[in-house]
Structure 1
Amino acid sequence: MMNGFRDALTALTCRESNRLLNTAVSTIQADNAAFYIHYWGSSLSHNTNMRHHHSFFEACFVVDGSGVYREDEAEYPLRAGTLFLSRPHRWHQIVSEPDMALLWVGFELDETQSSPEMTALFRRLASTETFLAESAWNTPAALCWQALWLQAEQSPSLLRLIAPDLAKSLLLSLPALFAADLPDEGGAAEHDGGRHLFRQASLYIRDNLSRPLRLEEVAEYLHISGRQLTRIFRSHSGMSFGDYVTSERLKKAHYLLKNTDLTTHAIAEQVGFGSVHYFTKVFAAKRGLPPAAYRKQLRSPL
């Protein structure tokens, strides 16, 4: 499929496919996962970009040509068929040769609408050290990506019907492609019991974000010890209890900043930060901007 796909790419089809996909697929809702799609992109001759980082994932697929992917102080060669993942908050740069054709998509999991298991999976994916796959033409992710672009080029009238399922399959296939070093999510009885308790705890946290949410309070609600709850959060989210709660508060704050006109003070109260000052300090440290500036950036046209 690689030659036919490469031959189908022209400057016109890239521009049109970008427009169609950014219009047709900006959110994805599955049974256990929801995604924000920040952008779709493609270029027959990708320009070298500046060193930068995102608060979300960016997956890229090299269709033709060559280049180098730089992350932190390391360099990784890129060639046709390479699929790679820029993980959140990692400084990186794509150095492109003049002939490098590239597809890319920026996305993040909406944890407020996703299952605890899927949330934990993508949080672990954010820290995996396996983030580049060579000769990936026949992987499910690459095949879905190629199908999306060919559909946009050949049958744009059907794209709105087909694209959401293809895009969902693409994103959900990424953990399997890059998760070689992730912990096994086996089905032993002890693990299943911990997973059930983690789900209950995460739902309790989500429903009570305006409260202080101490470890002992949630453990008492589940009728387990604080030590056991600490182990469960480490095992199923890769985070401490306190870090998980803060992450949930920030996720809810992101949603409210993006989708409501509530004041910063009102949002700080709803998501459980003790003061606007503390909310602003934590939010800016994690997101790179204070809440008001972050809201302005979210709502500004691309």
Structure 2
Amino acid sequence: MKTDDFNFLFSYAESMTEPEDLFSGRRLPHGFSLPDNILVFFHDFTASAPNSHSRHTLVIPLDEMVYYVERQQVEMHLGELLYVPPFALRFLHPGSPGYRRLFITFEVNGLQRYLPRSGLFELTPDVLRSLQNFLRNFFTHSEEELAWALMQLLAQLSSAHLVIKAGEPLPEALLQAIDHIECDLAILGDVKQLAFKVGLSPSHLRALFRQHFGVPIGKYIAQKRADYAQYQLKNSDLTIGEIAQKSGFANIYVFSTFFKRNVGVSPLQYRTQMHAPAKKAHGSN
């Protein structure tokens, strides 16, 4: 140790006084707990939204995009981070320029002082450094170390300034329409049936959807069907017939024609292509 280090220790020790109680020191806040059950994952699609769940969520955009959180529009740019608290309804604007985003989700017991306010934050040098440290260590460090690293990131956000970019709230009818599209693809029907469910005329729903999202509702529904089918073909063991039914198609032939028109290959070809890299990697071990 250097002389200055020793001098600091001597000086600090001399400044200390005897505690009144040698068994009572600085305690953690009552109910304190670290983040737990931590996940990190990447999405480049819009499904599924809107959704609400019990986990805390950090969203790091890798494209320019627009989120809706509790009906409030939030414009997100590179170099920013969105914190969404548990049970807040959120979804990605279907007309966003891009969909690539990184998620960190976690659970925590009770209200903790280190949790930030809901909203959008700038990735300042200090915040970015903490974020990078957490991500680099996610697969290599212990759960305790990860929880501590995430708590440090959250604590920095809690003292940072919110980026205020509040936009126009989303009408209730559109929220209901999005909810039906996302949750009821198998029984959704056409735009006329959807409009009836949300209490609007078909023309009013089409106009309102284009006004707020910038895309025709029919095109959006088609894209959602394609997104859902691609996800299931890649990640599930459902048969193509089952995926066709869950995507809202009367039979496998109509589904196959739709899929090839929108994706460029047949459902079977897509599934084979998606599984080929994994098989190749497995065979090379």
Q: State TM-score, norm by structure 2.
A: 0.47
Q: Find the structure with the greater CA-based Rg.
A: 2
Which has the larger helix fraction? 1
**TM-score w.r.t. length of structure 1:** 0.45
